[in-house]
Structure 1
Amino acid sequence: MPRLLLAAVAALGLLAACGDPGATTRQPQSDAPLPAEDRALHDMLPQRLKDSGVLKVGTTLPNLPYLLTDSNNNITGGITPEVGRAVAAKLGLRYEIENIAWEALLPGVTAGRFDMADDGLSDTEERQRVGLFVDYMRSASVLVTAKSNEGKYKSVEDSCGKRVATIRGTTDVQHAEEISQDCQKKGKGAVEVTQYPTAQDADLALRSGQADFQVAVTEQAKYAIKEQNAPIAIVSADFAPTYVGMYLRKDDKQLGDALLAALKALKADGSLDRIIGNYGLEPLPEPGLNLATSGR
Structure 2
Amino acid sequence: MPNSQIRLFAAIGMGLSIALALSSCAGASAQVSADCVPKFDVPTSAAKTLKIAAPDYPPMFTYQNNVLGGVDGAFYEQFAKDACLTTEVTILPSAGVIEAVKNGQADVAGGGWFPTAERAKVIGQTTPAFANPAVFVAKDPATSLDTYRGKTIGTVQGFLWVSDLKAWGGDNIKLYESADAVFSDLKNGRIDTALLSVSSASYRIAAMGTSELKYAVVSPHPAIKAFNEPAVTNFPYVKSNAKLGDALNAAIKAYRADGTLERIVTTNGFKPEAAKP
Higher strand share: 1
Structure 2, unaligned stretches of length 5 or more? Answer: 1-19, 220-226
Task: Determine the structure 2 residue equivalent to 1:41.
Answer: 40
Deviation at 1:83, TM superposition (A): 1.0
What residue identity is the alignment partner of 1:195? L
Distance 1:114 1:211, change over 3 A: same
Distance 1:144 1:130, change over 3 A: same
Distance 1:61 1:128, change over 3 A: same
Task: Give percent identity, aligned residues only.
Answer: 22
Q: Tell me, what secondary structure is at the counterpart of 1:260?
A: helix
1:208-227 alignment to 2 at 5 Å? 208-226=188-206
Task: Determine the structure 2 residue equivalent to 1:77.
Answer: 69
Task: Determine the structure 1 residue equivalent to 2:133.
Answer: 140
Q: CA RMSD in A?
A: 3.3
**Contact residue 67 and residue 75 of structure 1 kept, 8 A:** no
Distance 1:139 1:254, change over 3 A: same
Q: Tell me, what secondary structure is at the counterpart of 2:158?
A: coil
1:220-259 alignment to 2 at 5 Å? 220-226=200-206, 228-229=208-209, 233-234=213-214, 236-239=216-219, 240=227, 241-259=230-248
Task: Determine the structure 1 residue equivalent to 2:103.
Answer: 111
Structure-2 separation of matches of 1:250 and 1:284: 25
Matched, 1:176 2:168: no
**Cα-to-partner distance string for 1:77-102 (whole Å, 9 max, x where unaligned):** 22121111111111121122221011
Matched, 1:95 2:90: no
Q: Tell me, what secondary structure is at the counterpart of 1:133?
A: coil
Matched, 1:262 2:262: no
Distance 1:251 1:84, change over 3 A: same
Name the stretch that deviates more: 105-114 or 275-284: 275-284
Matched, 1:281 2:261: no
Deviation at 1:39, TM superposition (A): 3.6
Matched, 1:121 2:121: no
Task: Determine the structure 2 residue equivalent to 1:10.
Answer: none
TM-score, structure 1 normalization: 0.68
Higher helix share: 2
Task: Determine the structure 2 residue equivalent to 1:154.
Answer: 142
Q: Choose the corresponding residue for 2:60, options 60, 66, 81.
A: 66
Distance 1:198 1:52, change over 3 A: same
Q: Choose the corresponding residue for 2:52, options 57, 63, 67.
A: 57
Distance 1:41 1:246, change over 3 A: same
Deviation at 1:200, TM superposition (A): 4.5
What residue identity is the alignment partner of 2:51? K
Number of equivalenced pairs: 241
TM-score, structure 2 normalization: 0.72
Deviation at 1:66, TM superposition (A): 1.8
Deviation at 1:215, TM superposition (A): 1.2
Distance 1:174 1:38, change over 3 A: farther
Deviation at 1:284, TM superposition (A): 4.4
Name the stretch that deviates more: 120-129 or 93-102: 120-129
Structure-2 separation of matches of 1:275 and 1:235: 21
Structure-2 separation of matches of 1:28 and 1:177: 42
**Contact residue 160 and residue 191 of structure 1 kept, 8 A:** no
What residue identity is the alignment partner of 1:243? V
Structure-2 separation of matches of 1:28 and 1:276: 22
**Which has the higher relative contact order, 1 or 2, with Cα contacts under 8 A spaced 6 or more apart?**
1
What residue identity is the alignment partner of 2:50? L
**Contact residue 57 and residue 111 of structure 2 kept, 8 A:** no
Matched, 1:165 2:154: yes
1:183-198 alignment to 2 at 5 Å? 192-198=172-178
Q: Tell me, what secondary structure is at the counterpart of 1:41?
A: coil
Structure-1 separation of matches of 2:231 and 2:118: 13
**Contact residue 25 and residue 90 of structure 2 kept, 8 A:** yes
Deviation at 1:62, TM superposition (A): 3.0
**Contact residue 256 and residue 275 of structure 2 kept, 8 A:** no
**Contact residue 133 and residue 217 of structure 2 kept, 8 A:** no
